[in-house]
Amino acid sequence: MKKRDDKNILRKIMAIRGMGQVITVAFGLVVLCIVFGILNPVFFSNRNIANLLRQIAPILIIGIGQSYVLITGNIDLSIGSVVGMSCMVSATMMTKGVNPWVAVLITYICCLAIGIINGQLVANCKLPPFIATLGTMTIARGIAQIVNNNYNTDSIGAAAKGFRDFFYYGKNFGVFNTIWIAAVLWIIFNFILNKTRTGRYIYAIGSNIEAARLSGVNIAHITTTAYVVSSFCSCTVGLITCAISGMGTMDAGNGYEMYAVAASVIGGVSTLGGQGILLGTVIGASIWGVLQNGLQFAGAPVAIRNIAIGVIVVVSVLLDVIIRKGRPIRKKKNITTVNKAEIKA
């Protein structure tokens, strides 16, 4: 009797759309871990695992944001610059003596503004998302540079200890806070994506924007929401970065938009929109982290790590496109049904 229940639960899990792909990738992750574990016994030490998780957490957070945007069928290239902007804006204020928590609040407001601009440019002004967010990417980086007159900031000082503990150094129940932040954000955004109207609309406009519009979905509103979520995530990661180093660095978050795409796409989020689950993003971010960590142990230089990540992203997208290439055959069928219709008419 109990066995049958187990089976049902398993079947239910497998019925979730995109789960098959996630399980495949998770299998890859396990293989990767085993390989690195054999190459280097220290890989599975408690210390390294804690480190690894702290490395993965920020990538998971921006990955969540990028996944939201990708599922709507768009892309956010401004992520890395918003991370830098968040880092610099918060650090500058803290060095000027602003209360850290006030600084955090103001930083969030600034970063969310970028998200709103992104959403409006894409949904209302109909700019291609690539160009629109490429523009805001440059703007945000410019802001990161200008807030402290083109210098990295000094140390944010002792007053910010609480801030630094909250975002990076502190622990709760034996787990580092960064990991808690990532976990809580994941739970919240996963809930929104799966259980709310907003989440449903995000999938709908990514799948077929015209059908969604004709079903009464406010496209501009939902697209903007996705971009704001992305900016919120980037801002959080910027604050974590600031907490790690205890200062603001102008090129913080450089290239993070690519890491966010990597986490999403490796985890099965389609760059064409409408498909993907946040569980996949967890696996995608983990693969990114394990590769970085493992290759570092193996003595590979940064350049090699970059190449590895780049290759994996391109291969993932290629697989995504190839899997969908099976579709044109089906599409052809549809063309003939249309013809049939014309002929019948």
Partner 1 sequence: MQEYIVEMEHINKTFPGVKALDDVSFNLKSGEVHALLGENGAGKSTLMKVLSGVYTADSGEIKIFGDTVTELTPKKAQQLGVAIIHQELNLCPHLSVAENIFLGREITKMGILSSKEMSKEAKCILDKLNIDISPDEIVGNLPVSKQQLVEIAKALSTNSRILIMDEPTSALSEKEIDDLFKIIRKLKGEGCGIIYISHRLEELQHIVDRVTIMRDGRYITTMNYAETTLQEIISNMVGREIKQKFPRVNVKRGGKIFEVKNLNAGRLVRNINFELYEGEILGIAGLMGAGRTETTRAIFGAEPKESGEIILDGKSVTINKPIDAINAGIVLVPEDRKRDGLCTKLSVRENIALPNLDFLSKSCGIVDENEEKAIANKMVKDLKIKLPDIDVVTDSLSGGNQQKVVVSKWLARNSRVVIFDEPTRGIDVAAKVEIYNLMNDLKKQGIGVIFVSSEMPEILGMSDRILVMCNGRITGELDIEHATQNMIMEYATKFEK
CB 43, CB 277: distance < 8 Å: no
Nearer to partner 1, 50 or 220 (CB): 220
Residues paired with residue 176 on neighbouring β-strands, in sequence order: 171
Nearer to partner 1, 5 or 342 (CB): 342
Rounded least distance, CB 104 to partner 1, Å: 26
Nearer to partner 1, 184 or 338 (CB): 338
Q: Which of 271, 315, 255, 266 is nearest to 288 (CA)?
A: 266
Q: Which residues bind partner 1 (CB under 8 A)?
A: 15, 17, 195-198, 200-201, 203-204, 206-208, 210-218, 274-275, 330, 333-334, 336-345
C-alpha of 193 from chain center: 14
Rounded least distance, CB 215 to partner 1, Å: 4
Rounded least distance, CB 332 to partner 1, Å: 11
Nearer to partner 1, 171 or 333 (CB): 333
DSSP state of 121: I
Rounded least distance, CB 67 to partner 1, Å: 15
DSSP state of 274: S
Matching residue, tokens 């983990």:
286
Q: Is 172 exposed, middle or buried (0-12, 13-18, 19+ CB in 10 A)?
A: exposed
Neighbours of 277 (CB within 10 A): 22
Rounded least distance, CB 170 to partner 1, Å: 32
DSSP state of 147: T
Rounded least distance, CB 190 to partner 1, Å: 13
Give the sign of the dihedral formed by CA 306, CA 138, CA 192, CA 269: negative
Rounded least distance, CB 13 to partner 1, Å: 13
CB 112, CB 238: distance < 8 Å: no
User: CA-to-CA distance for 273 and 73, rounded, in angstroms?
Assistant: 4
Nearer to partner 1, 201 or 256 (CB): 201
DSSP labels for 1-52? -HHHHHHHHHHHHHHSTTHHHHHHHHHHHHHHHHHHHHH-GGGGSHHHHHHH
Rounded least distance, CB 337 to partner 1, Å: 5
Nearer to partner 1, 161 or 200 (CB): 200
Matching residue, tokens 């909250």:
166
Nearer to partner 1, 187 or 304 (CB): 187
Nearer to partner 1, 303 or 343 (CB): 343
CB 97, CB 87: distance < 8 Å: no
